[in-house]
Structure 1
Amino acid sequence: MGIAARARAALATVAVAALLVTGCTPSRTASPGATAEPTATASALSPSPSPSASAPTPSPTPTGATPSPRPTAGPAILERGDSGQQVRDLQARLKQIGWFSGSVTGYYGDATVTAVKGFQTKRGLPVTGAVDQTTQDRLRAMTHTPTAAELADSSSGRGTSTAGLDPRCLTGRAICISKSTRKLVWVVDGQPQLRMDVRFGSELTPTREGSFQVEWKSRDWVSTLYHTPMPYSMFFSGGQAVHYSSDFAARGYNGSSHGCVNVRDYNGIATLYSQVRVGDKVIVYR
C-alpha cells in the first residue's frame, strides 16, 4: 500500500471512531433552495397505544355552578305521638293556611303528620311528617300567633256553645252557616251538634245569604255545569248546596266555590248528611 493509500485509510478510521464516541447521526444537508424535512419527535415515532391500554376518557365537566346539595332534615322538635300546647300551636298555624282541617286537639296523630307532610312537600323541605327547626321557622313566617279561640278550636267535633249563632238557628233543626267565622254549625233544638270549616263562592259567584231549607239531597252528585264531584250534597237554594270539596281539603282558602258551601271535613260532612232531613233549615248570614 502506498503512502497516499495509508493516509486515506487512517483518516477513515479516525472518522468512524468519532461517530462511535458521540452516538450521533449525521444530519442531512439540504440542497440550495430545498426545504429541509422536519426532524420527527419522539412522540410521533412512538407507536399509538391500543384502545384497551388507553386510559378512560373522563366525562366532560358540566359548565355552570355545582348543584346545591339536597336539604336534609334536622332533629325533630315535634313528631307523631307528642302532645301539649306546642302541638296545639302547630295545628292552629297549619289550619290558618289550609293544611289542617281537623280539630285542634294538641295530639300529634295521623292527621297532623299528613298536614305537615303536605306543607313540607309544597315548600321543598325534607318530607318527614315531623317538625324540625326549618319547618317550624317556615311555618311561623307564614302565619300569625294563634288566638285563644284558634287554640281551643273544635271545628269538626261537638260543642255546646251557641255564642255568635244567628237567632234563627236556635229553634228546630238548622244548618247554621256564618260567613264571618267561616263555620258551619249543625244545631238541633238549640243544641250545637257538629262544627265544621266552610268556604264560599267568589265575588263573581257569591253564596246567597238568607233563610232557606234543604230542598233535596244527593250522596254522589256530580255538577252538571262544572262536571266536578259534589259528594254529600244538600241543596238549599237552586243549584247551591252544602257539600264536601276535595279542592277545599287540598287548597284551603286559596280557592273558592262557584256559590256552594264547601266543607273539607269528609267524615264530618258524612255525619251531617246522615242526620239532615229534607225540609231542615239552612241559615246563611254574616
Structure 2
Amino acid sequence: MAKGTENEQVRELQARLRQIGYFHRSPTAFYGALTAEAVTEFQRKRELPATGSVDETTWSRLVGMTRKPTENELRPRTTNELDTPDPRCMEGRVLCISKESRTLAWMIDGKVVSAMDVRFGSVNTPTREGTFKVDRKERTWTSTLYHSEMPYSMFFSRGQAVHYSADFAARGYNGGSHGCVNVRDKARLAQVFEQVRVGDKVVVHW
C-alpha cells in the first residue's frame, strides 16, 4: 500500500494505526498524505525503513501490535477531525471541503466557524475537485435526475451541491452520493446555510 491506493485494506490500516495513536481521524480507505505521515512515524519508532509505504514487514509488525478493527472502528459515526486548511481556504468566506478527512469547514478569513462530516460521490459519479463559487441556494430541492430530496442545497458545480442527506444520516459511509457533497448533521448544515451567500467560495480538495 502506498499513496494513491484506495481500498478496504487501507481502511483497516488506518483503523489499526488509530488504535495505537498514529492516525487521528476516521478511516477513509484512501491512502493520502496523512496516512503516509502516520506510516512513516510508525516505521521510525520501530527502526524500519521510513518509506511512508506499507511493505510486508511493516504490515506484519502493525498487525502484531493491534487487534482486528470492529465495524465501528472501520466506519465510525463520530465527527472526523479537520485537516490543516487548504491555502485556498484562508481568505474570505469559504466552504472548505476535504476528501481526505471527509470534512466540510465553513471558514471566514481563515477561521473555522463550523465543521461537519461529509460524504462524496462514487467512482462512477465523482465529486469534482477544484475552486468554485456557490451559484445558487435552495432550502428545499428534489433532484431532477435522481428524484431524491436535497434539503439545504448550495450548488457549486453544474448540478453538484452541498446538501443534507437522510441516506448518509442513516447508513453513514456504506453509501455514496451521485457527485454531491452529502452532510448528515441537518441542524448544523441549516445554520451554515443561513450564513452562506451566493458567490461565496467553495474549495474541494484532497
TM-score, normalized by the shorter chain, greater than 0.5: yes
The SS at the match of 2:85 is coil
Q: Identify the residue that residue 64 of structure 2 maps to in structure 1.
A: none
Q: How many matched pairs?
A: 141
Q: CA deviation at 1:145?
A: 9.3
Amino acid at match of 2:166: S
Pair member with larger Rg: 1
Amino acid at match of 2:126: P
Any conservation in 2 of the 1:162–1:192 contact (CA below 8 Å)? no
Aligned partners of 2:137 and 2:199: how far apart in 1? Answer: 10
Superimposed CA distance per residue, residues 224-264 of structure 1 (whole angstroms, 9 cap, x where no aligned partner): 01111100000000100000000000000000000000000
Q: CA deviation at 1:154?
A: 5.8
Any conservation in 2 of the 1:218–1:231 contact (CA below 8 Å)? yes
Are positions 1:213 and 2:133 aligned together? yes
Superimposed CA distance per residue, residues 43-100 of structure 1 (whole angstroms, 9 cap, x where no aligned partner): xxxxxxxxxxxxxxxxxxxxxxxxxxxxxxxxxxxxxxxxxxxxxx9xxxxx969xxx
Structure 1 residues 145 and 227: alpha-carbon distance in aligned structure 2, compared to 1, 3 A threshold = closer
Aligned partners of 1:142 and 1:251: how far apart in 2? Answer: 13
Q: Identify the residue that residue 142 of structure 1 maps to in structure 2.
A: 71
Q: CA deviation at 1:162?
A: 7.8
Structure 1 residues 275 and 242: alpha-carbon distance in aligned structure 2, compared to 1, 3 A threshold = same
The SS at the match of 1:176 is strand
Any conservation in 1 of the 2:131–2:203 contact (CA below 8 Å)? yes
Aligned partners of 1:231 and 1:166: how far apart in 2? Answer: 27
Amino acid at match of 2:184: R
Q: Identify the residue that residue 114 of structure 2 maps to in structure 1.
A: 194
Map 1:1-286 → 2, pairs under 5 A: 141-144=70-73, 164-286=84-206
The SS at the match of 1:257 is coil
4+ runs of 1 displaced by more than 3 Å?
A: 143-146
Q: CA deviation at 1:144?
A: 3.7
Amino acid at match of 1:219: R
Q: CA deviation at 1:215?
A: 0.2
Structure 2: 5+ residue stretches without partners: 1-18, 20-24, 28-68
Superimposed CA distance per residue, residues 197-245 of structure 1 (whole angstroms, 9 cap, x where no aligned partner): 0000001000000000000000001000111110000000010000000
For structure 1, which segment, 182-191 or 161-170, has the greater mean C-alpha deviation from structure 2 after superposition?
161-170
Structure 1 residues 167 and 227: alpha-carbon distance in aligned structure 2, compared to 1, 3 A threshold = same
Structure 1: 5+ residue stretches without partners: 1-88, 90-94, 98-139, 156-160
Higher relative contact order (CA 8 A, sep 6+): 2
Any conservation in 2 of the 1:209–1:284 contact (CA below 8 Å)? yes
Amino acid at match of 2:131: S
Any conservation in 2 of the 1:96–1:143 contact (CA below 8 Å)? no
Identity across the alignment (%) = 57
Any conservation in 1 of the 2:82–2:103 contact (CA below 8 Å)? no
TM-score of the superposition, structure 2-length normalised? 0.63
Give the CA RMSD over aligned residues: 2.6
Structure 1 residues 162 and 196: alpha-carbon distance in aligned structure 2, compared to 1, 3 A threshold = closer
Aligned partners of 1:143 and 1:239: how far apart in 2? Answer: 33
